[in-house]
Amino acid sequence: SQQGEEDPQALSIQEGENATMNCSYKTSINNLQWYRQNSGRGLVHLILIRSNEREKHSGRLRVTLDTSKKSSSLLITASRAADTASYFCATDAGTGNQFYFGTGTSLTVIP
């Protein structure tokens, strides 16, 4: 399976701290995307990083991609209680818009 895996599966931090979650995948990709999901709702797109990019920023989010290690990380700085959610990475299958999702990291930010 090409499905990615996030690490850790669960993370609990205090408000104001930084949160880092990692994603590993198995085959070559064109891009990798990170999504957030609040309690069984739809997925919210956070960042797309292409295979020729190494780092990308969006507000308090920083994503890195290491294609040689087939891994990516998502850093959320100065976390807030509203960041409590599950975070997923998704990699493309190389054909069309078929994406493989990881198992997710459940982040809890304690006020």
Closest to another protein by CB, 27 vs 98, is: 98
Question: Which 33-92 residues touch another protein, going by CB under 8 A?
Answer: 33, 35, 40-45, 48, 88, 90, 92
Q: How far is the CB of 110 from another protein (least distance, A)?
A: 24
**Separation of alpha carbons 64 and 99, rounded Å:** 19
Which residues lie closer than 8 Å to 22 by C-beta, 6 or more apart? 6, 7, 71, 72, 73, 74
**Separation of alpha carbons 62 and 37, rounded Å:** 18
For residue 101, state whether it binds another protein (rule: CB under 8 A): yes
The amino acid that residue 90 corresponds to is: A
For residue 110, state whether it binds another protein (rule: CB under 8 A): no
Which residues form the interface with another protein (CB under 8 A)? 3, 30-31, 33, 35, 40-45, 48, 88, 90, 92-104
